[in-house]
Amino acid sequence: MTFQQQILEGIPAVLPAQKEYDPAINHAPKRKKILSPSEEKLALQNALRYFEPQHHATLLPEFKNELETYGRIYMYRFAPEYKIYARPIDAYPAQSKQAAAIMLMIQNNLDHAVAQHPLELITYGGNGAVFSNWAQYRLTMQYLAQMTDEQTLVMYSGHPMGLFPSHKEAPRVVVTNGMMIPNYSTPDDWEKYNALGVTQYGQMTAGSYMYIGPQGIVHGTTITVLNAFRKIGKSPKGGIFVTSGLGGMSGAQPKAGNIAGCITICAEVNKKAVHTRHSQGWVDEIIDNTTALVTRVQQAQLDKETVSIAYHGNVVEVWEAFNEHNIKIDIGSDQTSLHNPWAGGYYPMGYTVEEANDMMANDVERFRESVKTTLCRHAAAVNAHTAKGTYFFDYGNAFLLESSRAGADVLAENGIDFKYPSYVQDIMGPMCFDYGFGPFRWVCASGKEEDLAKTDAIACAVLEELAVNAPAEIQQQLQDNITWIQGAQQNKLVVGSQARILYADAEGRAKIAQAFNGAIARNEIGLVILGRDHHDVSGTDSPYRETSNIYDGSRFTADMAIHNVIGDSFRGATWVSIHNGGGVGWGEVVNGGFGMVIDGSKEAERRLQSMLFWDVNNGIARRSWARNEGAVFAIKRAMEIEPNLKVTIPNIVEEDLFNNI
Ligand X SMILES: NC(=O)c1ccc[n+]([C@@H]2O[C@H](COP(=O)([O-])OP(=O)(O)OC[C@H]3O[C@@H](n4cnc5c(N)ncnc54)[C@H](O)[C@@H]3O)[C@@H](O)[C@H]2O)c1
Report the SS3 class of residue 365.
helix
Full 3-state SS string of 562-618: HHHHHHHHHCCCCEEEEEECCCCCCCCCEEEEEEEEECCCHHHHHHHHHHHHHHHHH
- Least distance (Å) from ligand X to the CB of residue 114? 12
Q: Output the smallest distance, CB 391 to ligand X, in A.
A: 16
Distance CA 203, CA 586 (A): 9
Q: With 0-12 CB in 10 A as exposed, 13-18 as middle and 19+ as buried, what is 417?
A: middle
> How many other C-beta atoms can be found within 10 angstroms of the C-beta atom of residue 556?
9
Farthest CA pair distance, the chain: 81
Compare residues 125 and 257 and give the one whose CB is closer to ligand X: 125
Judged by beta carbon, residue 210 or residue 604, the one nearer ligand X is 210
Least distance to ligand X, CB of residue 537, Å: 14
Nearest to 528 by CA among 101, 83, 120, 22: 101
Closest listed residue to residue 153, CA positions, set 88, 233, 96, 111: 96
Long-range contacts at 189-194 (CB < 8 A, ≥ 24 apart): 189/586, 189/587, 190/127, 190/581, 190/586, 191/31, 191/32, 191/34, 191/343, 192/34, 192/35, 192/39, 194/31, 194/72, 194/132
Measured from the CB atom, the residue of 248 and 592 that comes closer to ligand X is 248
Least separation in angstroms between residue 641's CB and ligand X is 29
Whichever of 220 and 236 has its CB closer to ligand X, that residue is: 220
Shortest distance, position 62 Cβ to ligand X, whole Å = 28
Closer by beta carbon to ligand X, 126 or else 197: 126
Nearest to ligand X of 272, 448 (CB atom): 272
Strand locations in 462-535, DSSP E?
499-504, 528-532
State phi, psi for 388 to the nearest 5 degrees. Answer: -100, 10
Contact predicate 574/596, CB 8 Å: yes
Rg (alpha carbons) of the chain, rounded to whole number:
24
Distance of closest approach, residue 183 Cβ to ligand X, in angstroms: 24
- With CB atoms as reference, the residue minimizing the distance to ligand X is 247
In DSSP terms, 332 is beta-bridged to 242, 392
In whole angstroms, what is the distance from residue 552 CA to residue 622 CA?
Answer: 10
d(CA 196, CA 199): 8
Give the whole-angstrom CA distance, residue 591 versus residue 239.
34
Which is nearer to ligand X, 190 or 346 (by Cβ)? 346
**Shortest gap between Cβ of 61 and ligand X (angstroms)?**
32
Which CB, 208 or 337, lies closer to ligand X?
337
Least separation in angstroms between residue 374's CB and ligand X is 6
CA distance 567 to 562: 8
CB of 110 to ligand X, least distance (A): 15
In the complex, what is the shortest distance from the CB of residue 100 to ligand X, in angstroms, rounded to a whole number?
A: 28
- Pick between residue 335 and residue 390 the one whose CB is nearest to ligand X: 335
Give the integer Cα–Cα distance in Å for 30 and 11: 26
Name which of 364 and 467 has its Cβ closer to ligand X: 364
Beta carbon nearer to ligand X, 133 or 540: 540
Nearer to ligand X, 92 or 395 (CB): 395
- As measured in angstroms, the least distance from the Cβ of 189 to ligand X is 18
Contact positions toward ligand X, by CB under 6 A? Answer: 116, 124-126, 217, 220, 244-250, 267-270, 273, 314-315, 335-339, 345-347, 395-397, 535, 583
**274, containing H or E segment:** helix 271-279
Between residues 159 and 378, which has the closer beta carbon with respect to ligand X?
Answer: 378
CA separation for the pair 608, 159 (Å, rounded)? 29
Smaller CB separation from ligand X, 239 or 438:
438
To the nearest whole angstrom, how small is the minimum distance from the Cβ of residue 7 to ligand X? 28
Report the candidate in 300, 308, 242 with the shortest Cα–Cα distance to residue 281. 308
Question: Strand runs (DSSP E) across 435-545, as ranges?
Answer: 438-444, 499-504, 528-532, 540-541
Cβ closest to ligand X, residue 239 vs residue 313: 313
Q: Are the C-beta atoms of residues 124 and 248 closer than 8 Å to each other?
A: yes
| Shortest Å distance, C-beta 147 to ligand X | 31
Work out the angle between the directed axes of helices 290-302 and 315-324 (0-180°, nearest 10). Answer: 60
CA atoms within 13 A on the CB side of 219: 32
Shortest gap between Cβ of 181 and ligand X (angstroms)?
24
Choose between 333 and 609: whose C-beta lies nearer to ligand X.
Answer: 333
Q: How far apart are CA 657 and CA 643, in angstroms?
A: 35
> Going by C-beta distance under 8 Å and a sequence separation of 6 or more, which residues neighbour residue 651?
none
* Amino acid code (one letter) for 100: A
Taking the C-alpha atoms of residue 446 and residue 472, their distance in angstroms, rounded to an integer, is 38
Interatomic CA distance for residues 212 and 442, integer angstroms:
9
Q: What distance in Å separates the CA atoms of residue 325 and residue 574, rounded to the nearest whole number? A: 55
- d(C-alpha 403, C-alpha 394), whole Å: 11
Closest distance of CB 254 from ligand X, Å:
12
CB of residue 127 to ligand X, shortest distance in Å:
8
- Bridge partners (DSSP) listed for residue 287: 311
